[in-house]
Amino acid sequence: MGGWVEGDPVGDRVFLDLPAFSLQRGGLLPSVRVAYETWGTLAPGGANAVLVEHALTGDSHVVGPAGDGHATPGWWQGLIGPGAPLDTNRFFVVCANVLGGCQGTTGPSSRAPDDGPWGSRFPEVTVGDQVRVEAALADALGIHRWACVIGGSMGGMRALEWAVAMPDRVATLFFLASGAVATADQLGTQTTQQTAIRTDPRWAGGDYPLDDPPVDGLGVARRIAHLTYRSAFELGERFGTAVQDDGRFAVASYLDHHADKLARRFDAGSYVVLTETMNSWDVGRGRGGVEAALGRVTARALVAGVDSDRLYPLELQQQVADALGVPLHVIASPYGHDGFLIETEAVGELLRGLLAG
């Protein structure tokens, strides 16, 4: 139950330990452990390295089977491998679990210096902090400039932050199904999800035992979130008003399934920390606004969105595309926001074009 903890099977993870790390909002972590996975072979000088950025409940396991250490198969199957859009005969692909996460990188369920979990003591983390941790990982791997940084949803935030904060380290950018700044709608749904977790009696102010986490609150949060990830059209076509033999609406049973599935592999404290990170996202903060910040990007960029996405609607990607002076690519999908994960053929075609350019 919950995320990966020390002592669990490692699976395909590799770890890097970093020294004391100062955070943008004033916090300090005495050390940071980063869990990551790689595919392919790094070329001399590191010029063939690609960074894939995962979304909120993703992790470093982009592709590969479920098994010891990995509760689920890779979340973007078909994207990486020989002959795939990220062709491992050509590219060295890296994905790291994000700072504040719960799949091997330091987060609320990680051990603090007193050997107990960080819990409520875990400091506030920004997208900028997460990218600086990834930059330290890149340095350790000998990667000075990414051939491409790719991300959708929360991963798109980090991809864009890379291109703005360290433009000389990003050759190409694939920005997908995300935005340059959190919207009121996103703030509303994400703070409601946090409330669901915090009002679970097991939450205990964020200092719950890891073997008795607030799974009920996390499950409600996941149900709320999943409704924003899918489109009304798809839910209607797939479930309608059907009632199962057990008396539950079919759509409610579907949401129950996803709530239970997440509770088995994710930590509630990380869910709160990472949604707070998303709530604070604004690429233009301290940089003169969004347009001025995006004016710093030198990477050759591709911006794409999903036509049925109601969480990150197309106008958010259009804002980024316009500021970067590139066209917006629209992926047709009935699946809503999750279309960026499901429509792998369409995403792969765009990625191949970007990397061939």
Residue 337 appears among annotated catalytic residues: yes
Two structure tokens written together for 88? 């491992």
Which H, E and C letters describe the chain, residue by residue? Answer: CCCCCECECCCCCEEEEECCEECCCCCEECCEEEEEEEECCCCHHHCCEEEEECCCCCCCCCCCCCECCECCCCCCCCCEECCCCEECCCCEEEEECCCCCCCCCCCCCCECCCCCECHHHCCCCCHHHHHHHHHHHHHHHCCCCECEEEEECHHHHHHHHHHHHCHHHECEEEEECCCCECCHHHHHHHHHHHHHHHCCHHHHHHCCCCCCCCHHHHHHHHHHHHHHHCCHHHHHHHCCCCECCCCCEHHHHHHHHHHHHHHCCCCHHHHHHHHHHHHCCECCCCCCCHHHHHCCCCCEEEEEEECCCCCCCHHHHHHHHHHHCCCEEEECCCCHHHHHHHCHHHHHHHHHHHHHC
Q: How far apart are CA 306 and CA 56, in angstroms?
A: 18
Residue 200 appears among annotated catalytic residues: no
Q: Which entry of 60, 153, 308, 333 is annotated as an active-site residue?
A: 153
Q: Which entry of 129, 200, 309, 338 is annotated as an active-site residue?
A: 309
Residue 87 appears among annotated catalytic residues: no
Residues known to be catalytic: 153, 309, 337
